[in-house]
């Protein structure tokens, strides 16, 4: 069973950047789908970015053009580069390993069999 450990969260001013990392306990290059979710206080979890086995990516409209998801397969690490951060990006960010590729990955939804990390906090001040 894969274990996921996120890092890279912290506090930053609006307009700044952060890069989140998610270290996996096993190879992720053939994982059907790797995802980033976030949850802000009082709000539901939101799927913000996914990367499929074939490398295709999907982004929520709220982060499109500002965030980039990628994989470092040599290090079994999922990355999320976050630029032009806004106060509304403040949330706990979670790395997720999914079992399904294709439209279930692109849909950025929670699916059966998803494995979650413990999360890392991102705080953006105005």
What DSSP letter does each residue of the chain carry, written as one string? ---EEEE--EEEETT--EEEEEEESS--TT-SEEEEEEE-TTS--EEEEEEETTS-EEE-TTTTTTEEEEEEGGGTEEEEEE-S--GGG-EEEEEEEES--THHHHTT---TT-EE---EEEEEE-
Contact 46, 114 (CB under 8 A): no
- pLDDT of 1 reads 87
As a whole number of angstroms, the distance between CA 87 and CA 85 comes to 7
Phi, psi torsion values for 117, nearest 5 degrees: -85, -175
Q: What is the pLDDT of residue 30?
A: 83
Q: What's the pLDDT at 29?
A: 87
- Give the pLDDT confidence score for residue 64 in this predicted structure: 98
* pLDDT average per 10 residues of sequence, the chain (126 residues): 96 98 93 96 96 96 98 96 98 97 94 96 98
pLDDT at 10: 98
């Amino acid at each position: 069973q894969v274990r996921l450990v996120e890092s890279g969260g912290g506090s930053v001013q609006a307009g700044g950047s952060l890069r989140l990392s998610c270290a996996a306990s096993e190879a992720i290059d053939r994982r059907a789908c790797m995802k980033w979710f976030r949850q802000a206080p009082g709000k539901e979890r939101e799927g913000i970015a996914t990367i499929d086995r074939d490398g295709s990516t999907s982004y929520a409209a709220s982060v499109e053009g500002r965030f980039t998801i990628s994989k470092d397969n040599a290090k079994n690490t999922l990355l999320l580069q976050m630029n032009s951060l806004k106060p509304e990006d403040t949330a706990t960010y979670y790395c997720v390993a999914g079992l399904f590729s294709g439209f279930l990955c692109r849909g950025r939804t929670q699916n059966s069999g998803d494995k979650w990390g413990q999360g890392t906090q991102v705080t953006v001040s105005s």
